[in-house]
Structure 1
Amino acid sequence: MLYGIAAASAALLLAACLAALLRVPALRCGVVDRRRRTRPVPLLGGVAVALATGLVAGLGELTGVARMGSEPGALLLAGSAVALLGLAVDLWRLRTRFLLAGTAVAAAWVVPYEVTGAVGGAGAVLWIVLGTVAFRSLDHADGLAAAVGVVTALGVGVCAAAEVMDGLAVLLSVLAAALAGFLMQGRRPARIALGACGSLFGGFLLAGAAVLVRAGHEPAGSAGVLFACAAVAVADLVLVVAARRLAGRALLRGGPDHLAHRLRRLGLAPRGVRAVLVGGAGAGVLVGVLVHLGSLGASAVLWVAGGALIVVLVLLRLTSSPAPRMASAQVRGQLRVRNG
């Protein structure tokens, strides 16, 4: 317990300091988020999170103070490899197919096939890839992905502790603390962004840890718990895919299709948007944890799924682009000129 508190505190402070130190080099080297048009935001915040998590967890393993064990250790190594892929995305815009292939290989390395079996293992690999991509999809608003990651890591960590997977629980607490440390620099208005490096690293660790925790449990119930713990991220990904398919746009082409963008168009302030989404993520994680602990029946996950579906359907009706409104304004202006 004392080591867990010390490790979390160290990860928080280290991530906060590294995020502050990496901001200037990122700006000077031009490693900035090109999606943000108002001001340049450096993208190396994820490097701070990955380094803080790896250094603190690795130090506990090397010193023997807190052994992670083989599975959490393999998860951290695979997550570090995925973080490097994300860094390549931030620096050189790595092609998506290479990113997905690398993430799938890393996921295949950490799945416990002796417990899940071949079919269950294939499903676990698919879920880890999906969860990683979905978590990255949340990195479209200042501090949103990191805040959701903190809530999710704490919830999955409780499940790991209940399964007496102490090494995994410590790793998740260190990840949660590192993300919280990043938020000292990454909350709105963000001084540094998580980027693909941090969002992929965090998403991979969270999805992989959830798979390890649920390995050996009943498959349908496990699927429900996994979904509940990632409900907001999955809902955001489904919303984006559906909106772009209905609009006939390329899936990989960016745009204001995400949950935060649509909630902003409903009139919510940025802080309100983050509070709503983090609160929704917390509610989903709470249901997932209670189902895992046996305090709620597996059917409780259906309420989370139903709520997520309703949110997606309602927000899908909102226009995904301000272009039509701008076009109508231009038409009205032309009519005024003609009538004048």
Structure 2
Amino acid sequence: MLYGIAAATAALLLAAVLAALLRVPALRLGVLDRRRQRPLPVLGGLAVVIVTCLVAWTGEWTRVAPLGDGVGRLLFAAAGVAVLGLVADVWRLRARVLVAGTAVAAVCVVPYDETGVPGGMLAVVWIVVASLAFRGLDHADGLAGTVGVVTAFGAGACAAAEVMDGLAVLLSVFAAALTGFLMHNWHPARVGMGACGSLFTGFLLSSSVVFTRAGYAIGPSAAVVCCLGAVAAADAVLVVLTRAVARRPLLRQRPDHLAHRLRGLGLTPQGSVVLLGACSFSAVLVGVLVHTGWTGEGAALWVAGGALLAVLVLLRIPVRPPRRAPSTQVTGPLRVRNG
């Protein structure tokens, strides 16, 4: 317990400092996200990855907080996905490469002895979709980090209920590192998460849910998964429907995500993130209650119905491309993040 508090505190402080330090080399090297109103350095996610791995492996190395069976492999695979995302931040990578790399990592971490082969394949699909959905959430200042923190606490509560102490500590360290990063990512953000941090976030959280639900029936597990990933899933469904109806390329970035639609309703950037964070908290709370048996899996239908209703309503909200700030001169080689 004391180690968990100390580790989380250290992760928060280290991530806050490292995210600030990595902002300068990101600007010098031109590792920027140019989809927003102003070019944003995107090495903040790398700070989250480094701090999470460093603090977690310190506990494993000292045997003060062993990660447990399979959790070390999970963290290693998540770090591999983060490296792939870092490459996508610095150089252009095709979407199929990100999907293939994430799928390979997911195949390596699923506990097939508990899920079975069919369940394991479904888990791989879930991990890949959730990872890409969290990358999609990185379209507004503070959104991916806020939803990630809330989901990490929910997944950590589920892990603690299963007496998976190593995984619970890892998720608390990760949540603290995300919180430290959010100190610089809240609107107006000074540093972004990038594909490195968003893919790491989605992969780590979705894989953790798979670990905690391994051995359970598919129906209740699907209910928990639906609740813990409600906001990311709603954003992905909204984008797919919007671009399919408009017959636009699915992978071409446009201001048609959740936060963009809420801005169209008149909410401020901070207000839209707070609202989506509150929605995530409500859905995650239901997921934890379903996992621990305090409520039936039918409660997840209310979460799914609410998310679907929100998507259908927001589909009718027109959005306009944001005004871009005048470009500023950036020293060093220019790296444009692939949308």
CA offsets 1:284-307 (integer angstroms, 9 cap, x no match): 000000000110111000000000
Matched with 1:9 is 9
Contact 2:264 2:318 in 1 (8 A): no
Q: Give the letter aligned to residue 247 of structure 1.
A: A
User: SS state of the match for residue 8, structure 1?
Assistant: helix
Matched with 1:329 is none
Q: Give the letter aligned to residue 48 of structure 1.
A: A
Give RMSD over aligned pairs: 1.0
Once residues 249 and 103 of structure 1 are traced to their aligned partners in structure 2, the CA distance between those partners, rounded to angstroms, is 25
User: Is 2:143 the partner of 1:144?
Assistant: yes
Q: Give the letter aligned to residue 130 of structure 2.
A: G
Cα displacement (A) at 1:322 = 5.9
Q: Give the letter aligned to residue 148 of structure 1.
A: V
Cα displacement (A) at 1:231 = 0.1
CA offsets 1:131-190 (integer angstroms, 9 cap, x no match): 111111110000110011000000110000000000100110011000000011111110
User: SS state of the match for residue 32, structure 1?
Assistant: strand
User: SS state of the match for residue 70, structure 1?
Assistant: coil
Matched with 1:332 is none
Q: Give the letter aligned to residue 71 of structure 1.
A: G
Contact 1:243 1:320 in 2 (8 A): no
Matched with 1:18 is 18
Larger radius of gyration: 1
Once residues 186 and 13 of structure 2 are traced to their aligned partners in structure 1, the CA distance between those partners, rounded to angstroms, is 16
TM-score for both structures, normalised by structure 2: 0.94
TM-score for both structures, normalised by structure 1: 0.93
Matched with 2:330 is none
Once residues 250 and 169 of structure 1 are traced to their aligned partners in structure 2, the CA distance between those partners, rounded to angstroms, is 39
Identity of aligned residues (%): 64
Q: Give the letter aligned to residue 132 of structure 2.
A: V
Once residues 321 and 249 of structure 2 are traced to their aligned partners in structure 1, the CA distance between those partners, rounded to angstroms, is 18
Cα displacement (A) at 1:40 = 2.1
For residues 228-267 of structure 1, what are the structure 2 equivalents within 5 Å?
Answer: 228-267=227-266
Q: Give the letter aligned to residue 311 of structure 1.
A: A
User: Is 2:45 the partner of 1:35?
Assistant: no
Q: Give the letter aligned to residue 306 of structure 2.
A: G
Contact 2:14 2:180 in 1 (8 A): yes
Cα displacement (A) at 1:270 = 1.2
Segments of structure 1 that go 5 or more residues without pairing to the other structure are 324-340
CA offsets 1:173-214 (integer angstroms, 9 cap, x no match): 011000000011111110000000000001100000001001
Once residues 224 and 105 of structure 1 are traced to their aligned partners in structure 2, the CA distance between those partners, rounded to angstroms, is 25
Cα displacement (A) at 1:320 = 4.6
Q: Give the letter aligned to residue 211 of structure 2.
A: L
Matched with 2:276 is 277
> More deviation in 62-71 or 123-132?
62-71
Once residues 270 and 35 of structure 1 are traced to their aligned partners in structure 2, the CA distance between those partners, rounded to angstroms, is 15
Matched with 1:82 is 81
Q: Give the letter aligned to residue 12 of structure 2.
A: L
For residues 322-333 of structure 1, what are the structure 2 equivalents within 5 Å?
Answer: none
Instruction: Select the structure with the greater relative contact order (CA < 8 A; seq sep ≥ 6).
Output: 2
Once residues 319 and 72 of structure 2 are traced to their aligned partners in structure 1, the CA distance between those partners, rounded to angstroms, is 42
Q: Give the letter aligned to residue 163 of structure 2.
A: V
